[in-house]
Amino acid sequence: MKRALPLVIVIVVGLSAIGGGFALYRAKRPKQLTMTKESGESKDTTNHVLGPADAPLTLDEFGDFQCPPCGKLSEPINQLQRDFNPRLRVVFHHFPLINHQHAREAAWAAEAAGLQGKFWEMHDLIYREQEVWSKALDVRPLFEAYAGYIGLNLGKFKTDIDSAEVKDRVTADQTKGTSLGVQNTPTIFLNNQQIDPKRLGPPDLRAAIEAALKDAKPSS
């Protein structure tokens, strides 16, 4: 019996190590985020939406205008919405990251354009020109030039970009994202379920949308 004791100890320690390793693995696995109806687009007037309200599928993006991966996904997401319209709507939420110097001001610029009905035009232009303005010391002249390019009333734009209304809209989006557990950009939800951050390439998104549409109930 005494000879068997060391073997028993080795087995117990081994099993404990395996169990501990499994627990550690589970602890390190990223938690999948979810949105609820209460946190969704229908009750939030600050959201910007492409596509019909009764689309069976909704893609929510929490994005940062100075985030390179967000910039690369901008036009592919627009294209997906066009390809799957009217079965897909896209909702954009601001989530400017603190380590991006000009991200918050870019969000303000998009919101100021939104007050003149041209959020998406500014959204697309800011992402398209990301490599230019993100390197500038002073981004305001560039954003004003973009405002003129898309036909905004420049005087109103200059006033609105610094307004409490615009800043509150951006803050509201970021507060919502934080409450959901969003930490990085882009964070994308499809019908309230987060898409794996490692599966955000355009082909992966298209496949996820196609799969979700097969399971979606037709609109009544």
Calculate mean pLDDT across residues 122-147: 98
Q: Which residue has the higher pLDDT, 153 or 18?
A: 153
**CATH node for 47-215:** 3.40.30.10
- 174 phi/psi in degrees, rounded to 5: -65, -35
d(CA 111, CA 128): 17
Calculate mean pLDDT across residues 163-185: 97
Residue 25 has pLDDT above 70, yes or no: no
**Helical residues (DSSP H) of the chain, grouped into ranges:** 4-28, 68-84, 103-114, 119-128, 130-133, 140-149, 154-160, 164-180, 202-215
Q: Which amino acid is at 202?
A: P
State the angle between helix axes of 140-149 and 103-114 in degrees (0 to 180), rounded to the nearest 10: 30
Closest CA to 94 of 62, 72, 70, 47: 62
Q: Which amino acid is at 123?
A: H
User: Domain-by-domain residue ranges, the chain?
Assistant: 47-215
**Residue 203 preceded by cis peptide, ω within 30:** no
> So what's the pLDDT on residue 37?
53
Averaged pLDDT of the chain: 86
Residue 57 has pLDDT above 90, yes or no: yes
Residue 39 has pLDDT above 90, yes or no: no
3-state secondary structure at position 193? strand
